[in-house]
Amino acid sequence: MKKTMAIVMAVMLASLLFVFVQALRIHVAFNLPERILQMLPYLLTLAMLIGFGRRVQGPQAAGDIKD
């Protein structure tokens, strides 16, 4: 139950980060090209997924052939 709650909280934080960066892109004028600002939420989400994915291990029986 505790692990499930941690996953739910991580998903909620990732979605809040995505929305925050989207809002920041709309309201703040940077001297960056528009395409880079549009990519920013996706790049941050991808970075978070890579970070969380490094801690996750696959099932122990992955790759075993059952005859």
In angstroms, rounded to a whole number, what is the distance separating the alpha carbons of residues 13 and 8? 9
pLDDT digits (tens, 9 = 90+) for 41-66: 788 878 877 887 777 776 776 777 77
44, 25 Cβ separation under 8 angstroms: no
Token pair for 41 = 């939420």
Q: Which residues contact 14 (CB under 8 A, 6 or more apart)?
A: 45, 48, 49
pLDDT digits (tens, 9 = 90+) for 22-44: 787 777 766 777 787 778 878 88
21, 39 Cβ separation under 8 angstroms: no
At 5, the pLDDT band (50, 70, 90 cuts) reads confident
In angstroms, rounded to a whole number, what is the distance separating the alpha carbons of residues 33 and 41? 15
